[in-house]
Structure 1
Amino acid sequence: MAMSTGGNGPGGNGRRGRYRAMAEINVTPLVDVMLVLLIIFMVAAPLMTVGVPIDLPKTNASALNQETEPLTISVNAEGRIFLQETEVPLEGLVPQLQAIMREQKPGEQQRRIFVRGDRGINYGRVMEVMGTVSSAGFTRVALLAEQPSGRPAAAQPVAPAQPAQQPAPARR
């Protein structure tokens, strides 16, 4: 059996070998890895929001700029209240908020408090929570709603509740 080695010996044609080094980079594996990472991040991104599932109402209001991370109070469909992701009774909400605010640095602007209420919840329950928070002296309280694009937006801050004026009695 005769075999050609491609050398300069008898029967050789003067080339060192049959195959030359390829000078191109194969990007197919890189593209495959990038597509897998893209899919993973697309699936994981919606899961990085606040942990209490709430069906927010839609609004066309624009989002507010935030300097510090706000505190979030959520009222779910059953009417239970959550501070961030921890369930708290309505009576314990204000003391916990005050403890958080005491840890704030002196001279720093008061942290914003967002109230998120499920779409199907009674409006009175959300207003009860907001009234409790604002009556405790917190002035930067706002409602959250979901923008049509799917990201939450904050409504304008709500002024502290003022008692309704009684109509004047009719004179005869």
Structure 2
Amino acid sequence: MGIVVRNEGSKVNSDINVTPMVDVMLVLLIIFMVITPLLENKVQVDLVHSRNAIPMEDASKSDAEIVAITRDNKVFLGQNEVSLSQLGQDVQNDLQNRTNKIVFFRADARSGYGTVMDAIDAVRTAGVQQVAMLTDQQAAPVAQTSPAGE
């Protein structure tokens, strides 16, 4: 009779299986790619609807200077709340080394007209010549058809 000896030590696989790690990383990458655009505008504002809105691609750039005014008339420069008296100085500091000196305003539809105008005046006194108001495109009206008998 013969003795069967199993040599288990020679069959050990010391390679690292990275496939599960790559799968997890790809899922995390996709999640972050979807969530990142939603985090850009942390200040919640319901924009005014307009019929003839012009697309402004510069407003979605990461270095765009955006002033947001909420419905309770709080003023934000980027994501930071600022007072109207400090807004002009902060905008001037942010734009001093830029060639494109345009400020975008995101005003809530229910914010006070006076607050919006005061914010625009504060930015204008800081030396900004170009001011843009961001709005949402109003949905096209649905054409109504009359009944055939009329």
2:44 is the counterpart of 1:53: yes
Residue 41 and residue 101 in structure 1: after superposition, are their counterparts in 2 closer, same or farther (change >3 A)?
A: closer
Asked if the contact 1:114/1:144 (under 8 Å) is kept, the reply is yes
Residue 109 (structure 2) aligns with? 119
SS in 1 for 2:58: coil
The CA deviation at 1:63 is 0.6
SS in 2 for 1:72: strand
Q: TM-score, normalised by structure 2?
A: 0.62
1:1-172 correspondence runs (5 A)? 40=31, 44=35, 47-59=38-50, 60-66=52-58, 69-102=63-96, 104=97, 109-148=99-138
Q: Give % identity.
A: 33
Measure the CA separation in 2 of the matches of 1:146 and 1:132: 24
Structure 1: runs of 5+ lacking an equivalent? 1-32, 150-172
User: If you compute each CA radius of gyration, which structure gives the higher value, 1 or 2?
Assistant: 1
Measure the CA separation in 1 of the matches of 2:47 and 2:58: 20
Q: TM-score, normalised by structure 1?
A: 0.55
More helix by share: 2
Count of residues in correspondence between the two structures: 115
Measure the CA separation in 2 of the matches of 1:50 and 1:94: 21
The CA deviation at 1:43 is 6.3
Q: Residue 121 of structure 1 aligns to which amino acid in structure 2?
A: S
Residue 127 and residue 45 in structure 1: after superposition, are their counterparts in 2 closer, same or farther (change >3 A)?
A: same
Measure the CA separation in 1 of the matches of 2:37 and 2:58: 20
Higher relative contact order (CA 8 A, sep 6+): 2
Residue 71 and residue 121 in structure 1: after superposition, are their counterparts in 2 closer, same or farther (change >3 A)?
A: same
Q: Residue 71 of structure 1 aligns to which amino acid in structure 2?
A: E
Asked if the contact 1:70/1:111 (under 8 Å) is kept, the reply is no
Measure the CA separation in 2 of the matches of 1:93 and 1:127: 13
Structure 2: runs of 5+ lacking an equivalent? 1-23, 140-150
SS in 1 for 2:106: strand
RMSD: 3.2
Q: Residue 82 of structure 2 aligns to which amino acid in structure 1?
A: V
SS in 2 for 1:66: helix
Residue 65 and residue 47 in structure 1: after superposition, are their counterparts in 2 closer, same or farther (change >3 A)?
A: closer
Alpha-carbon displacement from aligned partner over 1:1-37 (angstroms, at most 9, x marks no partner)? xxxxxxxxxxxxxxxxxxxxxxxxxxxxxxxx9xx88
Q: Residue 62 of structure 1 aligns to which amino acid in structure 2?
A: I
